Every structure is written in C-alpha cells, then in structure tokens.
Amino acid sequence: MSENRRDFLKRTALAAAASTLPAAVSATPAGAASAPPTAFDAGLLSALGDAVLPESLGAPSRAHAVRDFAAWAAAYRPVSEEMHGYGDQEITYTAADPSPGWRSQLAALELLARRKHRKGFATITVEQRRALVRPQLPRGRGLRLSSNIVSAPHIAIALLAYWAASSAATDLAYGVVINKDQCRVLADAPRRPLPLAEPRGQ
C-alpha cells in the first residue's frame, strides 16, 4: 500500500519532527551544551547510543547525536495542539511525554545487564548490549524506522530513528550534501549536490 495525500502530509510533518539537529541543539538549556539534560541517565543513554548508532560516525558524533536526542526529549510538550492541516477537521494534540517510559526501559537494560553479565550496561561490550536490546524490539521483515519518534516502542528505536531522521544522516546515506529541511539558497537547487567533504562511514 502506498499513502494517500493525508498520510503523506502527516508523514512529512513527522519526518521533519527530528530532521534538524541544529534545532534540537538550540533546545538544550544554556550551559548544558557539553552534557545531556538530566532526563535520562547520561551514561546509560550514551552506552545505548554506542550500541545502536553507526560505528563509523565516530564517538564524538555519536555523543553529539545522543545529546541532541536528550535535548529534544527534554523540550517535548505533551498535549500541544498538532497541525490540523489540509483535510483534517479534527483538532488533535501531541501524545503523553514518552520520556518516563523510555527512562524505565533504559533502567531495565541496566538491570538486565547486571542479571546476565554481572556488569552494568555501560561496561559490557557493544555486542552484548545489542544482544540485550534485540529481544525488546518489534518483529517483522523489512520494518522501517518510523519517523514518529514519540510513538517509538523502545528508547533504542527512538534514539536510532531520531538520528536517522536528521539532515546529517540523510546526507550520509546519499553520500552528498542535501541539507534537507534546512533553509538554503534557491539558486543551488538545480546543481547536483556536492559530495560529502570527507568520506565518513564508508
């Protein structure tokens, strides 16, 4: 099944929901640029980021992505009026804050690591962390990462989907500088996007 116009418009809105990492950075409280907000256990979230985000990003970029995700989650406002765009007469509101549930999933991963490995989640290997996370995830063939991050059933998916929805991730996937969802010079539109300045994650 493809999507109709209503679904497309909703999807593009939600796809944009995490598409601008710089925007999320700006949501980080002043003075907190080097440390994630305290909504999540920073060490656990960082360990999860190292397990699910691309290794080839490198540790600094993964840490940056994790901080952005935490800042994004911290600035979430439940029950805010949602876009009632074309064709939608119903007024809808954003969902409940997903962070408490995600926090408890993170805590559960820590408990599980201690139960299975007698070590904290952050101190076991990346492969061991992945092995603990995998059973928590929905099953299915060819499952897409939903761009509706708030509804992610597990924090591992939320973190991965948040990064994947970013402009930077899209550029990595296509190997060129598209800068999607950023305001850009109109006259550049006809040109083939430039290759990424340096090969990352090849």
Partner 1 sequence: MSVRVVETDICIIGSGITAAMMAEKLVRERNVHVVVIEAGGPSGTLAERYERRRRWQAYGETPWPRDHLDDQNALGTAYGFSPSMNVGGLAMHWGGVTPRYSPEDFHVRSLYGVGDDWPISYEELDPFYQEAEERIGISGEQGPPELDPRGKPFPMPALPLSYSLQQLRDWTAKAGIPMWSQPSAKNSVPYQGRAVCQRCDSCYPICPTGAKYSPDFTFDALVRDGRIALHTNTLVRRLHTDARGHITHAAANATSGPERETEYRAKHFVLAAGFTWSPHLLLLSKSSRYPDGLANRSGLVGKYLCGHRNVAAQIRLPLQIFPGINAQHSLVTKKFMRPGKLEKYLRHDLRVWESAFGSEPRLRDDKGDVLFGDAMLSDWRARAKSGVARVRGYYDVLPDKHSELTLDASVKNRWGDPMPNLQFRDAPESVALRGHSEDSLRALFREMARVGDGQVISNESSANDIGQEHPGGGCRMGSNPETSVVDGFGRAHDHDNLIIAGAPTNVTASCCNGTLTFAALGLRAASALGDQYPRTRDDARHGH
- Within 96-125, the residues that bind partner 1 by CB under 8 A are none
Instruction: Pick one of 1, 30, 115, 197: the residue that binds partner 1 (CB under 8 A).
Output: 1
Tokens of 173: 């996937």
**Would the CA dihedral through 27, 31, 35, 38 be positive or negative?**
negative
- Given the complex with partner 1, which of 64 and 118 has the nearer CB atom? 64
Instruction: Pick one of 60, 192, 197, 198: the residue that binds partner 1 (CB under 8 A).
Output: 192
Taking CB under 8 A as the criterion, which residues in 6-65 touch partner 1?
6, 9, 12-14, 16-20, 23-24, 26-27, 51-56
Instruction: Pick one of 32, 103, 130, 196: the residue that binds partner 1 (CB under 8 A).
Output: 130
Instruction: Pick one of 35, 38, 58, 85: the residue that binds partner 1 (CB under 8 A).
Output: 85
Stretch binding partner 1 (CB under 8 A), from 34-42, 100-108, 114-122, 171-179 = 171-179
At what angle are helices 99-117 and 42-52 packed, to 10 degrees?
A: 80
Kindly determine how many residues on this chain lie close enough to bind partner 1 according to the rule CB under 8 A.
84
Cα separation values, 86 from 65, 91, 157, 183, Å: 33, 12, 30, 23
- Given the complex with partner 1, which of 94 and 104 has the nearer CB atom? 94
d(CA 15, CA 99) in angstroms, rounded, equals: 19
169: closest CA among 153, 157, 180?
180
- Given the complex with partner 1, which of 118 and 125 has the nearer CB atom? 125
24: closest CA among 59, 90, 64, 69?
69
> Residue 87, SS3?
coil
Tell me how far the alpha carbon of residue 57 is from its chain's centroid: 14
d(CA 104, CA 27) in angstroms, rounded, equals: 23
- Given the complex with partner 1, which of 38 and 182 has the nearer CB atom? 182
Instruction: Pick one of 34, 190, 197, 198: the residue that binds partner 1 (CB under 8 A).
Output: 190
Q: Give the N- to C-terminal CA distance of the chain in Å, as an integer.
A: 33
- Report the nearest approach of partner 1 to the CB of residue 180 (Å): 3
Tokens of 87: 């064709």
- Report the nearest approach of partner 1 to the CB of residue 38 (Å): 20
Stretch binding partner 1 (CB under 8 A), from 30-38, 97-105, 109-117, 163-171 = 163-171
